[in-house]
Structure formats: structure tokens, C-alpha cells
Amino acid sequence: MTGRPAAGAVGSSGPAGPVGPSGPVGAVDVQPAPGATPPRVPLARRAAAEFLGTGVLVAVVVGSGIQATELSDDVGVQLLANSLATVFGLGVLILVLGPVSGAHFNPVVTLAEWWTARRGGPGVTAREVAAYVPAQVAGAIGGAVLADAMFGRALVTWSTHDRSAGHLLVGEVVATAGLVLVIFGLARAGRLAYAPVAVASYIGAAYWFTSSTSFANPAVTVGRAFSDTFAGIEPASVPGFVAMQLIGGVVGLVVVALVFGPRGDSSPS
């Protein structure tokens, strides 16, 4: 999520008010929507927000997974605890850091915004992509290490959780496409103010309706490989997940175009 939508994504705010991928929303005196990005936040601060947000998100995912397995042997209860913690954590992170970076926390969202910008909409530049994506990946790794440290585990233990099955890869395409549809659909509909609730709610639902439990995020996927816990993923499974997430991002943008039509057809005025 940067100066426009995000993985918890929201839009950017310029002199004329909040701006999403579809254009300006609101008037000069309207306060920016949650997650909207002020136009002059230095790139270093935005990258720091992406590092912090992605790191805390992974710490929430991995830490709650560790806690859940220590408190219950029931896999259903473990997944419920893990998904609830992620929903609440993600929603808060979007609200807090959205005004700084747009709260992407996700390379797929950042790349989707870059593509949107190339097509004539607001979005991130190649220079911003080059700052955001490494910050997201580094933050995700740091978050996994932090979670392990909090629970007294070895700081880095490669996950042995094999997630290479074909049906899991299909699940990642679906989960990521849905995430992109939610974020960019909200932007096209002029409803980015609802992004913190909508994006977090979607991720919580996707935990349960996708076979892969909805990683839907290349940076988070890499980070979760560094922890051999409930939420981990074997390093050998990471390339397949990331590839399917990128494909899902493309599918999501295609669906947005099909549902909302060419840019301008359903843009808020």
C-alpha cells in the first residue's frame, strides 16, 4: 500500500483530497481517508513504514500461530486464533501506517499500483517500487525472527511445512486475485475509506475459504519460511507460492477492469 491503494491498501491524498487508482475523491477541505498517503512524505519514511508494517504483520501471523499451538491441539482452534489475530492486526496497521505509505505491505499490491500508474492512473513509480519491495521483504523476515525471539525459539529455523501441492497453488491464485479485486475495486468505487475493514475482513475470510489459508503476499511468504512453526512454509515451496501470487495479481487486475469497465466509467467525481 503506498501513496495509493495497498495490501491493506488505500489511496493517496493530494491537494484536491484523497486519490485512489481511479482519481481524485472529495474536495480540498475533506480530510484524507484512512490509509490515504500525503503527497510529500519522503520516500525514506514511506519505505520505513512499509518495513515496519510488513514486519509487524508477519510477527502477528507467526506469533499468533506459535501461541495457538501452545494453547490448543485442535487445528481448527489454532487456525481460528491465527486468523482472528491477523484480521485485527492488519486492520490496525492499515489505519496507523496508511497515512504514511499507503499501507501496501505486499509486493503484489505495489506492482499492481505501478502498473495502474503506467496505464494513466495514480500509483507508484519504478523508483518507489524499488524502495518498497525490498523494505517489505526485509520487514517480513525481521517479523518472523522477532516472533521466534518472543517465544524463546531459535531466531532462524527454516520451516519444514511443505506447501507445494497443486491445489494449494490454485488457492494462492484465488486468494491474491480476490485481494487485488477488493483493494482496487474499492478505489474504483471511491470507497477507500473502508479499506482497513474490508481488506482485513477479506483476509480473515480467505484464511478459511482457500486451501492455502491465503498467504496472498510474496514478502510475507518469504518471511514465513524463516520460522518452523504453524504458520511456516518450506523454502522449497516459496517460489511456487510467489509465482501463483503474481499470477493472482494479474488476474485480479483483469477482473477489476471487467467489473468496473475502462478507467473513468465508474470513477468517483
Distance of CA 139 to the CA centre of its chain: 13
Give the model confidence (pLDDT) of 221-243 as tens digits.
999 999 999 999 999 999 999 99
Give the separation between CA 168 and CA 9, rounded to whole angstroms. Answer: 25
Rounded to two decimals, the pTM is 0.84
Cβ–Cβ < 8 Å for 220, 183 = no
Would you state the pLDDT for residue 118? 85
Maximum distance among all alpha carbons in the chain?
54
Class of residue 96 by CB neighbours under 10 A (exposed 0-12, middle 13-18, buried 19+): middle
Measured in whole angstroms, the distance separating CA 154 from the mean position of its chain's CA atoms is: 27
Backbone region of residue 105 per phi and psi (left: phi > 0; alpha: psi in -120 to 50; beta: other values) = left
- What would the pLDDT profile of 39-53 be if each residue is shown by its tens digit? 569 999 999 999 999
Amino acid at 66: I
Q: For residue range 181-227, what is the model confidence (pLDDT) as tens digits?
A: 999 999 999 999 999 999 999 999 999 999 999 999 999 999 999 99
Of the candidates 60, 59, 52, 223, which has an alpha carbon nearest to the alpha carbon of residue 137?
Answer: 223
- Which residues are registered as beta bridge partners of 24? 19
| 37 DSSP assignment | B
**Distance, CA of 229 to CA of 211 (rounded, Å):** 18
pLDDT in tens, 60-82: 999 999 999 999 999 999 999 99
For residues 194 and 204, give the distance between their C-alpha atoms in angstroms, rounded to a whole number: 15
Give mean pLDDT, residues 253-267: 78
Q: In this structure, are residues 123 and 21 in contact, taking their beta carbons and an 8 Å threshold?
A: yes
